[in-house]
Amino acid sequence: MTNSRPAVTLVHTSDVHIGPDSGPNRGRDAFSAVLDLVEQVRPDLFLIAGDLFDRNRVPDADLRFVESSLAALALPVLLVSGNHDSLDAGSVYHRLALPPNARLIADEEGEVIDFPDLDLEVWGRPLVDHHPGYRPLASERAARRRRWRIGLMHGHFDDNVPRTGEPFRSSTITPAEIAATGFDYLALGHWHVPTDVSHGDVKAHYPGSPDPYQARAAGHAAVVRLSEARGVEVELVRVAAREDA
């Protein structure tokens, strides 16, 4: 390793909810808006933090749309499942034929994906069963091997449980768990409104849904820039469906 980390740019989205229940083509339009942002920014890596699909039973046409859209990107893509498209036996991802540049994180206990050219690694964990006993960060024990270290998962941030003693909600993530990871950036999904949940030295964000209906406001995605000079900078970018742009 050298003494200087290369600058890296990410685009981070989640909660697109492609599928017939989200309305005619609305999820596809929202995803197309994010892809327009990716084409504009040309990041080093594109992260999808769960609920790309609205449910596990979606038409084949939606699968073909995602496959062709990702194949058209000349950059690596990482995905994890969420509570709507959970990675169980009937998961939509078992029917999805991802192109060579895209990878689904599938190890239930989490796994590290290495990008040596970027001096970067991603620890990700899929959501298989959305219930109070599931803690997305509970199994995170991977040692840092690269200078940049990113987390990717889908779950519910809750900063009240340690103080109130109330039962955990499904797929809970706590402030202490975030701070303990040592990630440079934690890419989260599940909340449809852009939210900064950074704790300790760890930058952690929900980018919000790119679908204005899901977000109950303008759709958003996050552009994340990591550099030695400026640290980790997160820019929330409003995205618009092509027909509304």
Each residue of 12-51: pLDDT tens digit?
Answer: 999 999 998 656 688 999 999 999 999 999 999 999 999 9
Structure-token pair, residue 188 = 């989260």
Q: Domain coordinates of the chain in residue numbers?
A: 8-239
pLDDT band at 133 (very low <50, low <70, confident <90, very high): confident
Tell which CATH classification among 3.60.21.10, 3.40.30.10, 3.40.190.10, 1.20.58.340 matches the domain 8-239. 3.60.21.10
Q: Mean pLDDT lowest for which of 79-93, 145-159, 163-177? A: 163-177
CA 122 to CA 47: how far, in whole Å?
Answer: 10
CA distances in angstroms from 114 to 30, 122, 126, 161, listed in the order given: 29, 7, 17, 33
Question: Does the pLDDT at position 180 exceed 80?
Answer: yes
pLDDT band at 175 (very low <50, low <70, confident <90, very high): very high
Residue 131: exposure state from Cβ atoms within 10 A (0-12, 13-18, ≥19):
exposed
Which residue, 73, 53, 72, is CA-closest to 63? Answer: 53
